[in-house]
Amino acid sequence: MELTPATVAEEHEWVRGRADVVVPLVNTVRADLGEAFDTTVDPITDDQYREAVDAVFADGDRAVNVAALVGTLRELDVEDDYPGFVVDELLGRELAAMVAGDQPLRLLAEATFHYADIAHDGTDDDNAGLDDCDAALSAGVQTRLPGWEWREGPSPFGVD
């Protein structure tokens, strides 16, 4: 894999184009987690998804790493999927964290990735890494975007 500004731009467009797959998964994950934690979590729109993707790719240092992970997951396949399962899980978890941002969102996205991955299974025609890529994008974006009540105000733990 060779990463160039053009490659990063191509991956950016590919990720933006996944709204039809990722946004419904984000909204499913948000609804399920909201129910599990007895709270209401706002769904997201395709436009919010694309804006979040644009923000991630606007940071060149983050963009090149996100593009590398997306490109790798898009191409990753392992005969019979296991033991490659560990590889796509590792890459997916890291992609979710990079998309989400800094701590504590990074850690929350890593945890959410595993839930999203279980909730989403690609078609039999997909390679092993593509469904992990979609799950990672959904976990990272859903964590990054507002909609969770606990994120709507300042933290009560800040010290002045």
Q: Indicate whether 153 belongs to any domain.
A: no
Q: What is the average per-residue pLDDT within 15-43? A: 95
Q: Indicate whether 13 belongs to any domain.
A: yes
How does residue 81 score in pLDDT terms, banded at 50, 70 and 90?
Answer: low
Check residues 31 and 81 and name the one with the higher pLDDT.
31
Q: Structural domain of residue 139, as residue ranges?
A: 5-145
pLDDT digits (tens, 9 = 90+) for 107-119: 999 999 999 988 7
What is the Cα–Cα distance from 54 to 71, expressed in whole angstroms?
17
Q: Residue 55 has which token pair?
A: 């923000």
Q: Indicate whether 154 belongs to any domain.
A: no
Count of the separate structural domains present in the chain: 1
Q: Residue 153 has which token pair?
A: 């105000």
Coil vs helix vs strand at 51:
helix
How does residue 129 score in pLDDT terms, banded at 50, 70 and 90?
Answer: confident
80: burial class by Cβ within 10 Å (0-12, 13-18, 19+)?
Answer: exposed
What is the Cα–Cα distance from 96 to 135, expressed in whole angstroms?
8
Q: Which helix H or strand E contains 77, and what residues bound it?
A: none
